[in-house]
């Protein structure tokens, strides 16, 4: 009847939703109408009842209107931050959520509880849980967490005592996170320790990386964490900033070459006189050892090194020295008409290194004495040195053979340096 309140038209339509609060934040409470087909069916049933009961139906209409007024209510739904005002006939939280086509999972958070009764103006808050991949720095795991953005999810995990960060999954085209970044807060991008601050705006990880001008390498990883403004991990009690943390990973092959020092050996040659200096028959050469490593770096720092090969790439060559062992025969006494002292001393060596040394030191004269009187004989012994090698008397009074014998003993004990000038001149040292 025109002008009368049709209470059936106030029933909630489960197929329609009111406008999102973000689209119309100041919109008045909306009453959702019933579809025409349902109205038609309900009107036909009401006319049929009127034919049977007649005038009594008018009284029923008045009572029904009062009951309907009590059962109908408007409530506010906050679904992960998406706030909507709806009109409903449902008497419980579970009922109004079912009307909106929302199935609550075991990990979701609903307040009040689904069994709670609805009243006029009730606000129902739902936080839908998502599976997120987290890491504690050593291992990764998958957990359920609620939150409208990455910041809330991290807060939820921290409240549960989990010191972790979110791990973004990577494909060839995008870097994904099950939750968005906070849209109304500044966000930092931390690239291998370098902090790039961003104003509020990027809604996901890819947008944040693009805004920061960060390009990912094939092995790089991305996480979302709450960090200090210098990019370091938070100290207890410090308020941080949601940060997209890029960790640079690289695997390199590195080679290290080390020297292998050559060895030296001395061989004896019985055909070479023992008084001749040692000579080098084969020159020694150092070798090379080459080691190859697979090196793993994180943000430029070496975290692992595995040896993949180790081989001698150049063999060392042993130096071979030759030392004579043949004893040189003593020179024969010279036949001459010289003085008795010269005959008794014999003839100086006529060839070889000792002959050359005697020629340099004394002119080859066994009885030579220096102008100072301090040095005697073929090899200019001092009396003290002569006696240190077993000589007696003066060196200049001994035979040439004995002087050479004592000189060889001195050279074997102290080297050619006993005759510094002449040994250097002859190339003996």
- The residue extents of the domains of the chain are 7-126, 130-247, 252-325, 341-425
pLDDT at 170: 57
Q: Which CATH architecture has domain 7-126?
A: Roll (3.10)
Q: What are the pLDDT digits (tens) for 240-296?
A: 888 899 999 999 999 999 999 999 999 999 988 888 888 899 999 999 999 999 999
Task: Please choose, from the candidates 49, 56, 95, 50, the residue with its C-alpha nearest in 3D space to the C-alpha of residue 72.
Answer: 95
Q: What are the pLDDT digits (tens) for 370-414?
A: 888 889 999 999 999 999 999 999 999 999 999 999 999 999 988
Cα–Cα distances in Å, from 425 out to 155, 357, 421? Answer: 89, 9, 6
Structural contact between residues 76 and 123, judged by C-beta atoms closer than 8 angstroms: yes
Considering the entire predicted model, what is its pTM?
0.45
Helix (H, G, I), strand (E, B) or coil at 175: strand
- Torsion sign, CA atoms 201, 207, 211, 216: positive
Q: How many Cα atoms are found within 13 Å in the side-chain-facing hemisphere of 125? A: 8
pLDDT at 358: 93
Task: Please choose, from the candidates 12, 71, 83, 1, the residue with its C-alpha nearest in 3D space to the C-alpha of residue 43.
Answer: 1
Residues in the chain: 429
Q: Tell me, which fold does domain 252-325 have in CATH?
A: Resuscitation-promoting factor rpfb fold (2.20.230)
User: Which ranges of 86-239 does DSSP label H, i.e. alpha helix?
Assistant: 93-99, 150-159, 205-212
Q: What percent of the chain has pLDDT over 70?
A: 72
pLDDT at 169: 61
State the burial class of residue 291 (Cβ atoms within 10 Å of its Cβ: 0-12, 13-18, 19+): middle
Comparison of pLDDT for 165 and 191, the residue scoring more: 191
* Angle, helices 400-414/352-362, rounded to nearest 10 degrees: 100
Where is mean pLDDT largest: 46-55, 71-80, 168-177, 305-314?
A: 305-314
Mean pLDDT value of segment 129-149: 73
Structural contact between residues 128 and 102, judged by C-beta atoms closer than 8 angstroms: no
Answer left, alpha or beta for residue 157, where phi above 0 means left and psi between -120 and 50 means alpha: alpha
User: Which ranges of 16-80 does DSSP label H, i.e. alpha helix?
Assistant: 36-53, 56-71
Return the CA Rg of the chain. Answer: 54
What is the distance between the alpha carbons of residues 132 and 202, in angstroms, rounded to a whole number? 20
Between the two ends of the chain, the Cα-to-Cα distance in Å is 136
Q: Tell me, which fold does domain 341-425 have in CATH?
A: Lysozyme (1.10.530)
Structural contact between residues 292 and 307, judged by C-beta atoms closer than 8 angstroms: yes
Of 48-52, 137-141, 163-167, 190-194, the range with the lowest mean pLDDT is: 48-52
Mean pLDDT value of segment 184-211: 87
DSSP state of 276: S
């Amino acid at each position: 009847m025109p002008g009368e309140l049709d209470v059936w038209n106030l029933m909630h339509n489960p197929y329609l939703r009111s406008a999102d609060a973000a689209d119309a934040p100041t919109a008045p409470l909306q009453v959702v109408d019933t579809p025409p087909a349902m109205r038609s069916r309900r009107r036909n049933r009401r006319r049929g009842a009127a034919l049977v009961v007649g005038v009594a139906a008018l009284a029923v209409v008045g009572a029904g209107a009062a009951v309907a007024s009590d059962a109908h209510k408007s409530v506010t739904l906050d679904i992960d931050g998406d706030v909507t005002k709806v009109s409903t006939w449902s008497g419980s939280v579970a009922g109004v959520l079912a009307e909106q086509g929302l199935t609550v999972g075991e990990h979701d958070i609903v307040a009040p509880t689904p069994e709670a009764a609805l009243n006029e103006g009730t606000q129902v808050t739902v936080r839908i849980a998502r599976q997120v991949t987290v890491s504690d720095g050593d291992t990764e795991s998958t957990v359920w967490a609620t939150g409208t953005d990455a910041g809330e999810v991290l807060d939820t995990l921290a409240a549960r005592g989990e010191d972790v960060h979110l791990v973004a999954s990577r494909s060839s085209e995008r870097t994904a996170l099950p939750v968005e970044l906070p849209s109304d807060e500044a966000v930092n991008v931390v690239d291998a320790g370098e902090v790039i601050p961003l104003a509020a705006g990027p809604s996901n990880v890819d947008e944040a990386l693009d805004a920061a001008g960060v390009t990912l390498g094939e092995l790089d990883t991305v996480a979302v964490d709450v960090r200090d403004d210098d990019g370091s991990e938070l100290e207890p009690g410090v308020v941080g900033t949601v940060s997209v943390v890029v960790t640079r990973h690289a695997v390199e092959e590195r080679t290290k070459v080390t020297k292998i020092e050559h060895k030296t050996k001395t061989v004896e040659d019985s055909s070479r006189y023992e008084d001749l200096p040692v000579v080098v028959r084969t020159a020694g050469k150092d070798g090379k050892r080459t080691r190859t490593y697979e090196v793993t770096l994180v943000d430029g720092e070496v975290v692992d090194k595995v040896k993949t090969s180790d081989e001698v790439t150049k063999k060392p060559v042993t130096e071979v020295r030759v030392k004579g062992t043949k004893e040189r025969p003593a020179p024969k006494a010279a036949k001459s008409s010289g003085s008795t002292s010269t005959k008794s001393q014999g003839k100086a060596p006529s060839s070889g290194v000792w002959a050359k040394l005697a020629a340099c030191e004394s002119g080859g004269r066994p009885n030579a004495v220096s102008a100072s009187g301090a040095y005697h004989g073929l090899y200019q012994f001092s009396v003290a040195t002569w006696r240190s090698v077993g000589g007696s008397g003066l060196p200049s009074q001994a035979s040439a053979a004995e002087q050479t014998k004592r000189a060889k003993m001195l050279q074997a004990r102290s080297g050619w340096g006993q005759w510094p000038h002449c040994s250097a001149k002859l190339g003996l040292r």
